[in-house]
Amino acid sequence: MSATLRVPTVLRPAVGGHALLEVEGATIGEVLKNVTAQYPSVTGQLLADDGTLHRFLNVYVNDDDVRYIGGVDAPVKDNDEITLLPAVAGGAH
Structural domains for the chain: 2-86 (3.10.20.30)
In whole angstroms, what separates CA 33 from the centre of its chain?
Answer: 10
pLDDT in tens, 18-69: 999 999 999 999 999 999 999 999 999 999 989 889 989 999 999 999 999 9
This prediction's pTM: 0.89
* Single-letter amino acid, residue 83: T
Helix (H), strand (E) at residue 38: helix 28-38
Residue 90 has pLDDT above 70, yes or no: no
